[in-house]
Structure 1
Amino acid sequence: MREVASRAGVSVKTVSRVFNDDPHVMPETRERVQRAIRELNYVPNVLATTFRAGRSSVIGVAVPDIVDPFFAAIARAIDRQARRHGISTLVASLGDNPADERPTIESLLSRKLSGLIFAPIHDDQSYLHRWIEHTPLVCIDRAPTNLDVDTFTADDEGGAYLATTHLIDRGHTRVAYLGDSLRQSTERARLVGWRRANAERGLDPSAELIVGGVSDVAAARDAAARLTSLALPPTALFSSNARTTMAILRALRDDPPALVGFGDFPLADLLHPAVTVIDQNPDRLGELAAERVLARTHQEHAPLAAPEAVAVQLITRESCTPFRQ
């Protein structure tokens, strides 16, 4: 910047004002500075800017799987909202191993982010207490444990209740629950909704109808084999997340089951049969999280809001037709 200022015959502060598009710089001065910038091929030193400001103009986003349609949609919504404020996003996958959460999160935070939005995968986030005073933190999709931060989730229990009730009302009295990691707070809430729907319809499903660990095609095939071998096999499936739903559909594509999935995904409406889903509204979740973390960059010590659960919607398609004996 000093070299640009020297060539243009202005102060370093004027160069900064031109680069930041300050409208109060005289047109002829602006042109001299811009010409010097072009001649010297000047670009700003982002690291120096970060040190001066105390934090970078970047929001971190950490989710279990950036390929998962739900989390990909959340990341897109956060990025869209951030760009409206001239802020970039840095996205990372936490993966499936809870032990990877802390090193990944702390690696992001060490970059002096403007804020961090993340979906917890570990059962304890107390390690983040020392970061709260320095960086706005917001949890998405899943509530943290041993940490008080702003949190936005979908109505997991209500969505599972809607899906299961929809299947039961179409004649399915044995609705299996297929999920991924049953220890996650989202899964626990969806199990509550599944159980509540059965109880309100006078049904008492056995534990053998609950299958976890269905995260890929091989696991989906194993789950289907286990369920069909039961003395009273299920007549329909409730899948607790989009990744599980897609694994089931690939594994059973020659004989698609009656199914409702939690979470919409690309082409779900074009499959045969088209898949009935619970829409979690990931765009809204991402927007809310981005708005909150951006607000906290200006008002860091504002009181925490109560955790907010975004309403979900049942999208009825063809995959849950009435059961016929």
Structure 2
Amino acid sequence: MQDVATRAGVSAKTVSRVFNDDPHVTEDTRQRVQSAMRELKYVPNMLARTFREGKSAVIGIAVPDVADPFFAAVTKGIELAAREHDMAIVVTSLGDNPSLEQSIIEATVRRQIDGLIIAPIAADQSYLARWQDSFPIVFIDRVPTKLNADYFVEDDFGGAFEATQHLISHGHRRIAIVGDSPDVPTTRLRLEGYRAALDDAGLEIDEDLIVLGSRDADAAAQVCKTLLALSDAPTAIFSSNARFSTGVFPALQALKRSDIALISFGDFPMADVLQPSVSVIDQNPRQVGRIAAERILARIATPDKRFRRKNVIPVRLIERQSCQPASAVLASSVAV
């Protein structure tokens, strides 16, 4: 710290204030200190600092919705990994308004966190650059924009391609896709995978069967009913996330449409015991959370080590009853 202070022409106390993001430090001084830190490759040992101060290190977690089955499981994975290293977590929901992301994250950062795991909703994360010298930042589920940082994302394109291809292999030609807004990166990639699978099979893409923009399970249920009311209705539905699947399945049951195949991108509670049980593209969200937390810990423990920043996690198809051929689905269905 003294070396940094000497190079920047300030006191060691000022270096400490910059590191702790003290708002009273002038921007010119902050830039000189941060420049000196980069030149000297100075990274404080944050775990040692927190233990010295008599408090636990804290990992901040920011996801679109903590109630979403996927993000709830991711958070649990982070929590378990953090607990093993005597670390605490603080969790916040970003919601669905991209303009609020920065202010929510800044409020989280002010809690003196020692690492941040974020699934962003905005189109620009460059505002986080000022904190990269202070603590490690890891992105999950979505790739950061205008910022070079670690990220762990699932194979959204490949999973959607496999799901759609699987339905095609069971004889389905009218396959609908329902999901979030295409502005959401994961939804966009899953739509591309869906389209690619249809194209690969030589099937015409019917835009009437692509219904994106739902915000919750209830909206997805209504979309399902609308799709099945079409004169040339789909015989199968690909739900692009687990949250919407919890709306689509009850809608099919209410309509007594056990002949409609269903596959969900993302597992959800009870999916394996429903009748029919729901086929899914499994993202293993707890593992996603664990490896993100482990990267935070590794960055803290070995700040000079080079790590792969771009990490794409494979997904896998779990075949259950809901995407079998119509005759098999009908035979195994029981009213819920």
Does TM-score exceed 0.5, indicating one fold?
Answer: yes
1:282 and 2:307 matched: no
Which sections of structure 1, spanning at least 5 residues, go unmatched?
1-48
Aligned to 1:310: 313
The ranges of structure 1 where at least 4 consecutive aligned residues each deviate by more than 3 angstroms after the TM superposition are 49-56, 299-304
Give deviations 1:249-293, integer Å, cap 9, x for gaps: 233322243100000111101111100001001122111100111
**Which 10-residue stretch deviates more, 274-283 or 245-254?**
245-254
3-state SS of 2:165 partner:
helix
Partners of 1:260 and 1:275 within 8 A in 2 = yes
1:235 and 2:238 matched: no
With over 3 angstroms needed to count, the CA separation of the structure-2 counterparts of 1:66 and 1:216, relative to structure 1, is same
Give deviations 1:73-121, integer Å, cap 9, x for gaps: 1111111111111101111111122122111111111122110001011
Give deviations 1:197-220, integer Å, cap 9, x for gaps: 111111121222111123334412
Partners of 1:171 and 1:323 within 8 A in 2 = no
1:272 and 2:275 matched: yes
Please state how far the C-alpha of 1:55 moved relative to its aligned partner: 9.1
Query: How do 1:193-212 and structure 2 match up within 5 A?
Result: 193-212=193-212
With over 3 angstroms needed to count, the CA separation of the structure-2 counterparts of 1:62 and 1:299, relative to structure 1, is same
**Which 10-residue stretch deviates more, 106-115 or 219-228?**
219-228
3-state SS of 1:252 partner:
helix
Partners of 1:268 and 1:275 within 8 A in 2 = yes
Aligned to 2:265: 262
Q: Distance in 2 between matches of 1:194 and 1:204?
A: 12
TM-score by length of 1: 0.80
Q: Distance in 1 between matches of 2:284 and 2:218?
A: 29
Aligned to 2:43: none
Partners of 2:160 and 2:190 within 8 A in 1 = yes
Q: Distance in 2 between matches of 1:201 and 1:116?
A: 42
Q: Which amino acid aligns with 1:177?
A: I
**Which 10-residue stretch deviates more, 142-151 or 93-102?**
93-102
Aligned to 1:149: 149
Q: Distance in 2 between matches of 1:304 and 1:212?
A: 36
Give deviations 1:220-275, integer Å, cap 9, x for gaps: 24312432343422110000100010011233322243100000111101111100
Aligned to 2:68: 68
Q: Which amino acid aligns with 2:296?
A: V
Q: Distance in 2 between matches of 1:301 and 1:126?
A: 22
Q: Distance in 1 between matches of 2:220 and 2:252?
A: 8
RMSD over aligned CA atoms reads: 2.0
Q: Which amino acid aligns with 2:276?
A: P
Please state how far the C-alpha of 1:323 moved relative to its aligned partner: 3.8
Give deviations 1:115-166, integer Å, cap 9, x for gaps: 0001011111111111111121000111111111100011111111111111
Partners of 1:50 and 1:112 within 8 A in 2 = no
Query: How do 1:101-180 and structure 2 match up within 5 A?
Result: 101-180=101-180
Partners of 2:124 and 2:144 within 8 A in 1 = yes
The percent identity for this pair of structures is 49
Which sections of structure 2, spanning at least 5 residues, go unmatched?
1-48, 328-336
Number of residue pairs aligned between Structure 1 and Structure 2: 276
TM-score by length of 2: 0.77
Give deviations 1:42-65, integer Å, cap 9, x for gaps: xxxxxxx85975996100111111
Q: Distance in 2 between matches of 1:245 and 1:134?
A: 40
Aligned to 2:324: 321
Please state how far the C-alpha of 1:303 moved relative to its aligned partner: 4.0
Q: Which amino acid aligns with 2:300?
A: T
Partners of 2:149 and 2:309 within 8 A in 1 = no
**Which 10-residue stretch deviates more, 200-209 or 301-310?**
301-310
